Amino acid sequence: MENLKILKEKLIQNNKIIFLTGAGISAESGIPTFRGKDGLWNKYSPTELATVDAFLENPVKVWQWYLFRMRLIAQAEPNRGHLAISEFEKMLKNVWVITQNVDGLHFRAGSGKVLELHGNIFRGKCRFCGEEYSENEFSSLFPFADREFLRNLSDKEFESRILNNFCKDNLPVCRVCGEVVGPGVVWFGEALPEDVLEKAFELSKSADIFFTVGSSLLVQPAASLPVYAKRQGAFLVEVNLEETPLSNMCDVVFRGSAGEILPLILNEVKENG
């Protein structure tokens, strides 16, 4: 494969490598994407479930939806794509992950340098006072959001405890202001965390090799990162099942899943290590 040979020569120089990952990489772990043909936004309305207005109007409904998603994520495991990226970091050192995903699977796969552009679903954030809760803090505040609890919850128990009997009394209450706490994700209409976004552009500016993996590249400002990196001289690589708006801009394109392509690239580099 010609693309593999070209990329291998770049990688063995041990340059600064950035991986921008989207929903496609986690789809291989059984987590539905949002914009594919079977995506979640084809079945549910973002304005009803992922906005501040929706939360203020019906926090019980919104939390039922997020607990449904959290349970899917809690039962998922990092796949070969996540694990390959973690191996790249161990082997080449100067590797960063910028992810649009909120599932935390990169951390669970062993990656240490990860920027979560859209937050993390197992953390908490108060939209009233701005207080943020780590995963451990939030599971203590809101036991329904505990990853292990959700992982072990049967379908029958989920239906009984979350779908049928969940009510306002179950909602997490902020320890600072006493208002209802929402999930630690970025909703539609909300700005990305300024420090995280600033760091993402800083890394992209200095990248030697920039991978886009499993991202539709339709959501801003994340979709601007590979463009910015390319303009600063980065070698741009796309790993995706489908064509994206930036496919023609990429130096090499791999049409396949992250779990299929990334281990191949990793093995090529290891053979030259």
> Would you list the DSSP string of 180-199?
BPEEEEPPTTPPPPHHHHHH
Instruction: Choose among 77, 84, 124: nearest CA to 105.
Output: 77
Pairing status of strand 114-116 against strand 95-99: parallel
Q: Where in the chain is the domain with CATH 3.40.50.1220?
A: 1-31+78-118+192-273
Predicted confidence band of residue 273 (pLDDT cuts 50, 70, 90) = low
Q: Do residues 268 and 8 lie in contact, with contact meaning Cβ atoms separated by under 8 Å?
A: yes
- Model pLDDT, residue 272: 61
Residue range 73-87: average pLDDT? Answer: 97
Beta bridge partners of 23: none
**Which residue out of 69, 71, 106, 118 is catalytically annotated?**
118
Which residues of the chain form CATH 3.30.1600.10?
A: 32-75+120-185
pLDDT value at residue 41: 46
Q: What is the pLDDT of residue 224?
A: 96
Kindly report the pTM of this predicted structure.
0.91
262's CB contacts (< 8 A; 6+ apart) are 80, 81, 84, 85, 88, 213, 239
Residue 82 designated active-site: no
Q: What is the pLDDT of residues 10-41, one digit of tens each?
A: 887 768 999 999 999 999 999 876 555 554 54
Neighbours of 12 (CB within 10 A): 14
Residues of the chain with pLDDT > 70, as a percent, come to 93
**pLDDT tens for each residue of 198-251:** 999 999 999 999 999 999 888 899 999 999 999 999 999 999 999 999 999 999
Q: Per the structure block, which two tokens stand in for 248?
A: 């023609």
Residue pair 50/237 in contact (Cβ under 8 Å)? The answer is no
CATH fold for the domain made of 1-31+78-118+192-273:
Rossmann fold (3.40.50)
What is the Cα–Cα distance from 234 to 227, expressed in whole angstroms? 9
Which pLDDT score is estimated for 11?
85
Superfamily per CATH, domain 32-75+120-185: SIR2/SIRT2 'Small Domain' (3.30.1600.10)
Single-letter code of the amino acid located at 189: G
Greatest pairwise CA separation for the chain in angstroms: 60
User: How deeply is 105 buried, as exposed, middle or buried, from its count of CB atoms within 10 A (0-12, 13-18, 19+)?
Assistant: buried
